[in-house]
Structure formats: structure tokens, C-alpha cells
Amino acid sequence: MPIQISRVVVNVPLAEWAFNAMACSPDLRAAYRRYKRILCEQSASGGHLDVLQWAHEHGCPWDAATCYLAAAGGHLEVLQWAREHGCPWDARTCCHAAAGGHLVVLQWAREHGCPWDVITCCNAAEGGHLEVLQWAREHDCPWDVRPCRRAAAGGNLEMLQWAREHGCPWSASTCQCAAEGGHLEVLQWAREHGCPWDASTCHGAAGGGHLEWARDHGCPWDARTCQYAAANGHLEVLQWAHEHGCPWDAATCYLAAAGGHLEVFQWARKHGCPWDADIYDDIVAQPGAGQPEDLAFHWWLEHGRIWGVDVTLFDVNGEMI
């Protein structure tokens, strides 16, 4: 069996010992090549400058990942040394620095010509790093709708408010993400300030809560609302949606079954939710599909029908059950 190396011990004596031991053994040549490939990345990620220096001196390859992993960990000294010795970088260095909230690293990278793109602002917002987002925008980092969406998903109203006050665009996905996260205050503020919404908000609310509020305020819905409720096993949400006229389709049963939500599945069928006879084959074809098969067996026992086909069960002696 080939030896798999996903992490390395990052101190110089052990790195040197492993390097020499694997290089001398024909059985470990593949592991040796893998070790050489990941040593710079692992040492940069962990902030081990001495190991990175040793690895580079001994011919271990590096690429842009070495820089962005150093930035992700906030290891400015490692990043500086790598760049001084010719390690390439790309926009991911700024993206990862922003994601980790490492403003000093981001500032240094930009001062030394590192490119950036819209993902830098997106990652700053997703990580809740308002100071990083503010600095990035003050220095003309581009952005799109994603900072508003990420702020809403995290329930970070302050971030969302600042982004909007400074011209960040938004879309219906902002309301959807707020609803999915169960962040009613964020959803309410967004709507009060003109954020558009569509049926995706109700889909999100079916999984994250506050569906009644969304509907009371005129949010549209479609069959995917029932689908989301079924997929997440939220029987009360599905019941409320159905009682208030939300459409459903065969995917509702499919998703309840695929998720192993027997009670949801049974209730939906009892109340006339349609299904497709081909659904069973689709479900059991999925990796690890034990739950749907158990679900089907319970349905056989209770109703004598599965996927629209009459089923008669017999015991080991051939007697009808």
C-alpha cells in the first residue's frame, strides 16, 4: 500500500531526517516526492520559517500556495522571506489574509504589488473583519454583491449596514442568506432599506425559520419552500406551508426520503403530496443510501405499498405477513 503524506512534522532536524530516510529507500520514493511537494506549503502554513528556508535550500518546490498559506496564518515574516527569495504569489494571498483578518499582512502585500480581486472584500465580510473591509475599500479593492450576502449569512448587521452605506450592491440573495441563517433582524433591516427578495427567501426561511414573517410581508414562494422544509426534516414548517397554500411536488417526498425523515415523508404522502415512481431508484443509487431503504421498508410494513406498487410481504416460511 502506498504511503500517504498529508501533513509533515515541521522542525528542521525531523524534516532533514525524513528527507534523507525516504530518499535512500526505493520503497519510499513516492512518499519522498510527496514530502518534497508539501514541505514548503506546510511550513508556511504553520509559520515555521526555519523549515521553509531549509526546504527551499534543499530543492523543495514552491508555488503561490506557499505565499497564500503564510498569509492565511498571519505569518508576515514567512511571507516576506518567501517573496524576497522569488516565491510567486497571486490574488489568493490577499484573499486569505482578509479571510483571517490579518490586516498588517494584507497591507504589506498590497504595498509590494500583490494583486487582489473581489474575493478579498468577500472574505473580509464573511470573516466579520470590518476593519479589513474598510481598509480594502479605502484602497479601491473591488467588490460585488457578495459582501452583503456574506454579512447577512453571518447575521452581521453592522457589517451589512456599513457596506450599504458605502455603496456595496446587493441582491435577493442577501435576504435569502439572512433567512437561511435565521437572522430576522438582518432580514427586517434589509427589507426596510429596499433590498429585493424573491421565492429564495422563503426557501431559506423554511430551513432557517421566520417563514411566517416573510409571508406576512408579501414574500413570494414556490414548491421549493416545501422542498427545503422536507429536506431539513421540519415537519411543522411543511405543515404550515401546505395549510397556507404553498405548492409542492414530487421532490418534497424525494427530499424527505433522501434525508431519512420518515415522519415528514409519511405526513406528506398522507396529505396527497405527489411522487414519482422512479424516485426510489434515484435515492438508492446515491452513495450511502441506507436510510432511504429503511424508510421504504417501514412504509411497506405500514401500508403495503411502495413507490406506487402493491407489495405483499412473506415470512421465511412463505406465510403472508
The residue length of the chain stands at: 321
The answer to whether residue 130 sits within a structural domain is no
The answer to whether residue 309 sits within a structural domain is yes
Q: How far is the C-alpha of 211 from the C-alpha of 219, rounded, in Å?
A: 9
Q: What is the pTM of this model?
A: 0.78
Residue 88: predicted pLDDT: 98
223-231 and 262-270 helices, crossing angle to 10°: 140
State the DSSP H helix or E strand holding residue 306, giving kind and residue range, or none if neither. Answer: strand 305-306
| Enclosing domain of residue 234 | 222-321
Tally the domains of the chain.
Answer: 2
The answer to whether residue 55 sits within a structural domain is yes
Q: How far is the C-alpha of 205 from the C-alpha of 213, rounded, in Å?
A: 9
Do residues 116 and 110 touch, judged by C-beta distance below 8 A?
A: yes
The answer to whether residue 4 sits within a structural domain is yes
The answer to whether residue 120 sits within a structural domain is no
Per-residue pLDDT of the chain in tens (321 residues, 90 and over written 9) = 333 434 554 555 555 545 555 555 555 455 555 666 788 999 999 999 999 999 999 889 999 999 999 999 999 999 999 999 999 999 999 999 999 999 999 999 999 999 999 999 999 999 999 999 999 999 999 999 999 999 999 999 999 999 999 999 999 999 999 999 999 999 999 999 999 999 999 999 998 879 999 999 999 999 999 999 999 999 999 999 999 999 999 999 989 988 889 999 999 999 999 987 666 555 555 554 444 445 544 554 444 444 444 333 333 333 333
Query: Which of 38, 62, 86 is the last residue before a domain boundary?
Result: 62
Q: Which residue has the cell 415528514?
A: 264
The answer to whether residue 11 sits within a structural domain is yes
Which pairs from 10-15 meet CB under 8 Å and 24+ separation? 10/42, 10/43, 10/46, 10/48, 10/51, 11/48, 11/50, 11/51, 12/50, 12/51, 12/54, 15/39, 15/43, 15/51, 15/54, 15/55
Query: Which of 13, 32, 62 is the last residue before a domain boundary?
Result: 62
The answer to whether residue 215 sits within a structural domain is no
Query: Which of 62, 77, 104 is the last residue before a domain boundary?
Result: 62
The answer to whether residue 245 sits within a structural domain is yes
Tell me the CATH number at 284. 1.25.40.20
